[in-house]
């Protein structure tokens, strides 16, 4: 699959470049990141990003039930501050 555009992950803006015109579309920010780490390692591996915590939890439950590696741990990282936005309440209604 070939994509004709670029994605800015920090603010979720997709730029579609087709036939010489630029179309901007605002996507929801994927602020929940599921990362994994082997118990013997000190480096994290980015698995996937999500727009809500429920989807991230569901993904991790599915990955744990697969049990591909027995010494793999999963972690949830949440983007709490967006330096480009000036609001002080996230999507869940929890102030930060």
Domain-embedded: residue 55: yes
Domain-embedded: residue 65: yes
**In whole angstroms, what is the distance from residue 63 CA to residue 72 CA?**
10
Q: Which residue has the tokens 């480096």?
A: 43
pLDDT tens track for 7-20:
555 555 555 566 55
Q: Which domain holds residue 64?
A: 30-80
Task: Give the mean model confidence (pLDDT) for residues 52-80.
Answer: 90
pLDDT of residue 36 exceeding 80, the answer is yes
Nearest to 30 by CA among 13, 6, 16, 17: 13
Number of domains forming the structure of the chain: 1
pLDDT of residue 91 exceeding 50, the answer is yes
Query: By three-state DSSP, how is residue 58 classified?
Result: helix
Helices and strands (DSSP H and E) totals, the chain = 1, 6
**In whole angstroms, what is the distance from residue 59 CA to residue 45 CA?**
15
Q: Can you give the pTM of this predicted structure?
A: 0.57
Domain-embedded: residue 53: yes
pLDDT tens track for 37-65:
999 999 999 999 999 999 999 999 999 99
Domain-embedded: residue 57: yes
Domain-embedded: residue 61: yes
């Amino acid at each position: 699959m070939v994509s004709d555009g670029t994605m800015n992950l920090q603010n979720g803006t997709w730029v579609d470049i087709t036939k010489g015109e630029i179309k901007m579309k605002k996507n929801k920010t994927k602020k929940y990141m599921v990362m994994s780490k082997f118990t013997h390692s000190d480096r994290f591996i980015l698995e996937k990003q999500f727009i809500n915590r429920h989807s991230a939890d569901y993904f991790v439950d599915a990955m744990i039930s697969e049990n591909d590696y027995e010494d793999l741990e999963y972690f949830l990282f949440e983007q709490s501050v967006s330096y480009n936005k000036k609001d002080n309440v996230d999507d869940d209604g929890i102030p930060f």
